[in-house]
Structure 1
Amino acid sequence: MSHNSLKMPAIQWLQLPQEILLDIFTYLSPSEKANVRATCTYLRTLVDHPSLWKNSTILFRSIGIFNAKFWDMLQSRKICSVEVTKVTLKQFKKMTLSLPDLTTVTMDSCLKGEILQGLRPLVNLKRLHLTDCSHVSDHDIFSEIVNFQQLTHLSLCKVFFSNALPLTSIVLLQNLYSLSLHSKDGIVPERALQYILFRLPKLQELSLAVGNMNKWKLSLCFNRPDNFILAADEIPCIQRLQLQKLELLNSSCASLSANAFDQLSTLTSVCLRHYKYLQHEDFIEAIFIKLPNLVELKVEWAAPFEPFLGPITSKLEKLSVVGTKICNATLKCISQSTSELKCLNLSFSHGYDEEIIKRFPRLFPKLQNLYLSNARLTEEALVVLANLYSLRVLDISNNQHLTPEAILAFKKITCNRVSLILNKPSENAQYCCW
């Protein structure tokens, strides 16, 4: 594009086909879209086109301040996802009635039993994330949730299980694909969890915060029940679990039984967060030996990652070591064990230095995504990373040692083929939902 074409008068820009303008607007931030929207009626209509907002989430901190024009605007955009942090029952009902297309709702500390009743008009709801269930009983939660049998994703955080019965009602959600149960006190009724896992045939993602479960209680959850008397109207058990992703939080469990590993053999991704027993090399060894399909391992905010590295599978494509100690020798051993690593996340980790980073192009030549948030990175090391020829995403946020000139030089060397992440909020070690 020539320099003169960049000075095209506004009237000529408006003569471009709508499809081209809409494509241009997809590259704008929400604030930039707002600026465009304020210029004229025509552009306001274009900016409100649903295609520009289909992946957007609206954050509501207080609903009472919005007027009818605001709700009309959101309706025209066909907003499907909202996050609510402060709302009354009356206001929540206003939101659900005004946004009938909602498919995803995330609710924070505003959650109370009566607020859950406001979900009822959302007949299209597929994803429900309740990030703080500490002020509502498990009976109230599940008595409302079972009305949404079209749910595919359910996350319950800081929930207290009074007994096993309310939890078992989850089996009515037969379309459930992803389930997160993060217990407030680290206790989840293992028999109830076993009961539901083997009665959800579509479940592929599971996240559990089970701090007080030992090896045998946790293993029981993944063993097919053989002593339940099946009632005439009861949902039958599946023969095998079909889980693809498993996340364990705050666990003190050092391993799993052989039968549990057998039921989990379909796993492709394992995440261990706030884990206490990574120094038990037999557990890490078992993960790699007994999970033959594993291509992703996440170790986040856990004990030092210095496992027995002999059995690391050559198929491993993604490794995340966030907020955890990992040394140069461990990174070198990992590179010798796997040649397929495409994603490496070392954000907020420590124990390694810049010299090993400079060797990444040789150690991990197939890297496509590299996350080094909060790492001490100099201009010299950044230039070396330009030799990762498959690299497409590089996170260098929270780095005080890189100048704008160094970043510009990297962009020129790589011809802008790498998307740089320069600004990102500080990682919170206590977050719950995945």
Structure 2
Amino acid sequence: MLLIDCHMAVFRLPEEIWMEVFKYLSKSDKLNVRSCCTYFKRLVDHRSLWKNETIALRTFKSYKANFWKTLRCRMLASVIVDDANEKEWKKIVTSLPWLRSELMNAISQLSNLTSLRLHEGRYPIPKQTFHALLRSLPKLKHLSLRMWTGQALPDDYLNLSGEALGSPDLHNGKNGLTSLELLNYMDPMLSPVALDHLPFLESLTVKYDRRDKGRSHLRSWLKSLTHLTELTVMNGHPFRGYATSLPRTLRTLSLTGMMMRPGAMALAAKKVPDLQHLHYDPFDFKGDIIIVEIPRLFPQLQTLKIRSFGMSGRDLLRLGEMHQMKRLVFLDGRSSHSPISSELLCRFQVLTDYRVHVVLSGEPTDKAACLCDFL
């Protein structure tokens, strides 16, 4: 512990000497010295003494103007932000402007990055910061966003090209993003035209928050995605609401945890008759009703993931008549309630001349799961 008599020692040594002494102090000792007098407070807050320190920002309401003034003096390059909302993010950016520069310098070293998960917390990153971050990643193809709140975002939140809607430049391929994942999503966070800015998107995953009560914008989004080949929707609104909006380019469709009203799949089949891969697992599964319809609705299927509950042997053999089928996964195949027996599987394999790989699975893995789900 460094003990100093300010009245006797302050003016006997040059500032450079004091600064050199302070470099050897721990953080707690520097804070103690800082409280001695205004002279030492100014010296201790010099940026050279804090360049390797990190501060965690948590209780934003307790931070007054002098707190932010002190941080500006120290120019800390490492800051941990715990659960900040949009207003607090703006405060950080305006109060500590060099942090954005530090972040951009770091991101610029990742210019070859093709996949990025931004699961930053309970609130979305402000638009300006978000756009600046992603524009420094010219090769980015896959973007995953975790959204914890239902607050509405600007219409152009996903407009990474900077071009206005309706501009010819928006469709000239400048925006390289081809895959988008929205986790814990709640309508109406993104507007009906939000995905109009991503015309070349090929894959879209929307995992809804189960509490979502807003009006679904999927129908509007899908109308603008003319290059979409893969769609995954989890825990969402009834499928019938957007079944007729599926783009004809779609080849892979995954529907889990939603209501499936009568006739919905028939409507979808008219839009995507050439569907090749189907994962069908709604929470109100009707068993043989949909299984009977599948060969007629989607004759080009190569992969089918479905539950066997309520399925008869006759239904299974009908699936074997689908000549393009290569892989059949029963999501509840290991359940004691599954009707799939060894004898039935043998008959199926003979019927298909062993061209179909049958998988008896346990509960399906959540393809949109992330390690932060456990935090």
Distance 1:304 1:275, change over 3 A: farther
1-structure distance, mates of 2:179, 2:249: 16
Q: What residue in structure 1 maps to residue 343 of structure 2? A: 405
Residues 269-309 of structure 1 deviation map (CA, whole Å, 9 limit, x = unaligned): 1110125669735x222222211111211101333323143
Which of 161, 173, 182 does residue 110 from structure 2 map onto? 173
Q: What residue in structure 1 maps to residue 297 of structure 2? A: 363
Which of 130, 135, 142 does residue 198 from structure 1 map onto? 135
Q: What residue in structure 1 maps to residue 200 of structure 2? A: 266
Which of 195, 201, 222 does residue 288 from structure 1 map onto? 222
Confirm or deny: 8 A CA contact 1:321 1:349 kept in the other structure.
Answer: no
Distance 1:373 1:346, change over 3 A: same
Which of 360, 365, 371 does residue 422 from structure 1 map onto? 360
Confirm or deny: 8 A CA contact 1:223 1:260 kept in the other structure.
Answer: no
2-structure distance, mates of 1:140, 1:375: 52
What is the 5 A alignment of 1:264-413?
264-275=198-209, 280=215, 283-347=217-281, 349-373=283-307, 375-399=309-333, 400-413=338-351
2-structure distance, mates of 1:344, 1:295: 12
| Higher RCO (C-alpha 8 Å, min separation 6) | 2
Residues 158-188 of structure 1 deviation map (CA, whole Å, 9 limit, x = unaligned): x856756376443431011011112332433
Moved more, 393-402 or 207-216: 207-216
Residues 30-55 of structure 1 deviation map (CA, whole Å, 9 limit, x = unaligned): xxxxxxxxxxxxxxxxxxxxxxxxxx
Q: What residue in structure 2 maps to residue 212 of structure 1? A: 149
**What SS does structure 2 have at the residue aligned with 1:346?**
strand
Please tell me whether residue 188 in structure 1 is matched to residue 188 in structure 2. Answer: no
Which runs of 5 or more residues in structure 2 are unaligned? Answer: 1-76, 94-99, 164-171
TM-score under structure 1 normalisation? Answer: 0.55
Distance 1:141 1:347, change over 3 A: farther
1-structure distance, mates of 2:289, 2:366: 27
Instruction: Give the total of aligned pairs.
Output: 269
Q: What residue in structure 1 maps to residue 45 of structure 2? A: none
RMSD: 3.3
Which runs of 5 or more residues in structure 1 are unaligned? Answer: 1-137, 143-158, 227-237
1-structure distance, mates of 2:133, 2:260: 37
**What SS does structure 2 have at the residue aligned with 1:220?**
coil
Deviation at 1:215, TM superposition (A): 3.7
Rg comparison, structure with higher value: 2
Confirm or deny: 8 A CA contact 1:278 1:302 kept in the other structure.
Answer: no
**What SS does structure 1 have at the residue aligned with 2:185?**
coil
Distance 1:378 1:209, change over 3 A: same
Amino acid paired to 1:211 = W
1-structure distance, mates of 2:275, 2:321: 16
Distance 1:244 1:426, change over 3 A: closer
Confirm or deny: 8 A CA contact 1:328 1:351 kept in the other structure.
Answer: no
Deviation at 1:405, TM superposition (A): 1.1
2-structure distance, mates of 1:401, 1:344: 21
**What SS does structure 1 have at the residue aligned with 2:273?**
coil
Deviation at 1:241, TM superposition (A): 2.2
**What SS does structure 2 have at the residue aligned with 1:306?**
helix
Distance 1:199 1:423, change over 3 A: same
**What SS does structure 1 have at the residue aligned with 2:347?**
helix
Deviation at 1:315, TM superposition (A): 1.9
Deviation at 1:266, TM superposition (A): 0.8
Distance 1:372 1:355, change over 3 A: same
Deviation at 1:247, TM superposition (A): 0.6
**Identity of aligned pairs, percent?**
24
**What SS does structure 1 have at the residue aligned with 2:220?**
helix
